Amino acid sequence: MISHNIKTSADVGATFHIEPNHNPRAREPALAWFALTRQGGQLIPLEQCDCQLVVYSKSSSDQGNSPILEPQLKAISAEQYQGIPGADLVFPKAGVYELVLSGTPKSGASFKPFEIKYDVTVTPGKKTATVPTPDTEPEFNQHSESFSESFENATPSEPQLLQWWLPVGIFALVILGIGSVLLWKNATGKR
């Protein structure tokens, strides 16, 4: 299932998506992308936009005016979109975050300055990877391939496999238990 959030500001529309499947997890890499369009549907690639992305925590204990992340935007291709703004993110903990994308046209581009806000709910993560701080970079940026490239080659994780094996295993045990009771009753002649 692919899920997108669409918002507008001035004469710019933005389709927002975050991998994996709009369900980012704390301390695990996520890829956020924004397909920007002018009124009428013409795509605005990152090369035409001086765009910035900042991330704020919306939890009561973290509320403040300082962003917790200011990721570098890069031009990516996602679905049918080419050269759109995208960013690798690692949220430090579970909670609600606000992503604020703002932009002004670069020389030769024709759209009004914009600011679009999206709320993202981050669930608890499994990894204990180093969380980026202003002085460090996320772990996935230290590898030769970006998260967006490695995500395409991802295999199901152990919890995903357990999601369907657990109910199947329980069902099999229940059937075996019922069968054993019926066999025992038949063998002993009890009804």
Q: Determine the structural domain holding residue 23 and report its residue range.
A: 5-154
Whether residues 189 and 134 share a domain: the answer is no
Residues 168 and 113 in one domain: no
Residues 81 and 14 in one domain: yes
Structure tokens at 154: 């991802």
Q: Same structural domain for residues 164 and 106?
A: no
Q: With a cut of 50, say whether residue 44 has pLDDT above it.
A: yes
* Claim to verify: residue 169 and residue 110 sit in the same structural domain: no
Within this chain, do residues 150 and 166 fall inside the same structural domain, yes or no? no
Residues 17 and 77 in one domain: yes
Whether residue 76 is found in the same domain as residue 10 = yes
Q: Which residue has the higher pLDDT, 151 or 74?
A: 74
Q: Among 49-58, 70-79, 174-183, whose mean pLDDT is lowest? A: 174-183
Task: List, in order, residues 6 or more apart from 127 with CB less than 8 Å away.
Answer: 25, 27, 28
Res 169: pLDDT:
64
Domain count, the chain: 2
For residue 138, the model assigns a pLDDT of 43
Q: What is the pLDDT of residues 113-170, one digit of tens each?
A: 999 999 999 999 886 555 554 444 444 433 334 444 444 444 444 444 445 556 666 7
Tell me what pLDDT residue 7 has: 82
Report CA Rg, the chain: 23
Residues 139 and 187 in one domain: no
Q: Are residues 67 and 131 in the same domain?
A: yes
